[in-house]
Amino acid sequence: MNYENAVRRAAELIKGSGRTLALTGAGISTESGIPDFRSPGTGLWSRMDPVKVASSEAFLNDPAAFYRAFAELWHGYRQARPNDAHYALARLEKEGLLSGVITQNIDGLHQKAGSRAVWEVHGNLRTCRCLSCSQSFPFDFLWEKYRGGENPPRCGECRGVLRPNVVLFGDPLGGEFYAAAKALERCRLLLAVGTSLTVYPVASLAQRAERLVIVNREPTPYDGRADVVIRDSASKALAGILAALEKI
Ligand code: NAD
């Protein structure tokens, strides 16, 4: 299928599906300046091994080293702005063509773009919690402490170590993942955008969809079973799909 046909077919599937969900990964945010994991040269994996550094074990062993690796990076995520791909998904939802977004990203850019139904299956950077007394604080509380030289940042109540409410490697997935899996039961079409579909169990969600459209710059293990694969930038491909929808 050539590019134009793939974009038109994706638009037809969205129009005809009745219930479509999007599954997004780090690739949808690279055009907002946030590096993904696996893009050659620019992905975080070319600088470090996130499975080692971003694991719950690594955090517990040496929280100060964890914060040295991630605090500035994650503060940067919080300053980022949505790009046209995030806005395109928000527009599809507004027009009744998308029932929601399941995202592996912690950057909050879908909500900033206006998406309302968002399942953040790997957590978010809005809040953090104390590992000792479980008290919850805004992420800014943690950031201000780190920036002021307190590493690891500690609880305002009991001085326990604070950790962001993100899912680290080795953590069990929380309620958001199971809610997303449940939402997918009633979904006819999954639109996977900017994800390598290699991080489990989230990637397994792609198996459950009746129909699958993949927008990703590089091949994924699910390309063979997808109805449509568009191998291009998320913002360009989604803009193309929006334009094609207007002509149907
Ligand atoms: P990944 O790095 O494994 O894959 C990203 C994919 O997106 C790659 O295959 C790449 O080819 C593609 N891509 C990159 N830029 C693109 C663009 N502009 N348009 C289209 N495709 C593009 O990321 P993943 O699948 O999300 O891996 C999962 C893990 O990455 C998750 O655990 C997630 O929490 C974590 N992560 C999140 C962020 C974030 O919050 N923005 C950033 C880095 C990593």
- Rounded to a whole number of angstroms, the CA Rg of the chain reads 19
Domains and CATH numbers, the chain: 1-34+82-122+172-248 (3.40.50.1220), 39-79+123-166 (3.30.1600.10)
Pick from 28, 30, 32, 36 the residue to mutate for probing ligand 1's pocket: most ligand atoms within 8 Å of its CB.
36
Backbone angles phi, psi at 194, to 5 degrees: 65, 40
Output the pLDDT for position 41.
77
Record the tokens describing residue 86, joined without a space: 């995030």
27 in ligand 1 pocket by Cβ < 6 Å?
A: yes
Output the pLDDT for position 186.
87
Contact call for residues 112 and 103 (beta carbons, < 8 A): no
Ligand 1 centroid from CA 156, angstroms: 34
Ligand 1 centroid from CA 196, angstroms: 7
Ligand 1 centroid from CA 148, angstroms: 31
Residue type, 153: P
Q: pLDDT category, 44, cuts 50, 70, 90?
A: confident
Predicted confidence (pLDDT) at residue 46 exceeds the cutoff of 80: no
Output the pLDDT for position 47.
73
Q: Which residues have C-beta within 8 Å of that of residue 19, sequence separation ≥ 6?
A: 99, 186, 187, 188, 189
Nearest CA to ligand 1 atom 43: 36
For the chain, the residue count is 248
Output the pLDDT for position 57.
93
What is the mean pLDDT of the segment spanning 164-171? 94
- The closest-lying atom of ligand 1 relative to the alpha carbon of residue 44 is 43
Backbone angles phi, psi at 228, to 5 degrees: -145, 140
Output the pLDDT for position 119.
98
Output the pLDDT for position 1.
85
User: Computed from CA positions of residues 120, 13, 28, 88, in that sequence, does the dihedral angle turn out positive or negative?
Assistant: negative
> Residue 122 catalytic?
yes
What is the mean pLDDT of the segment spanning 155-173? 95
Q: pLDDT category, 107, cuts 50, 70, 90?
A: very high
Output the pLDDT for position 52.
78
Predicted confidence (pLDDT) at residue 170 exceeds the cutoff of 80: yes
What is the mean pLDDT of the segment spanning 145-165? 97
Backbone angles phi, psi at 13, to 5 degrees: -65, -40
Q: Which residues have C-beta within 8 Å of that of residue 15, sequence separation ≥ 6?
A: 97, 245, 248
What distance lies between CA 245 and its chain's CA centroid? 25
pLDDT tens-digit map of 179-207:
999 999 989 999 999 999 998 899 999 98
Ligand 1 centroid from CA 157, angstroms: 36
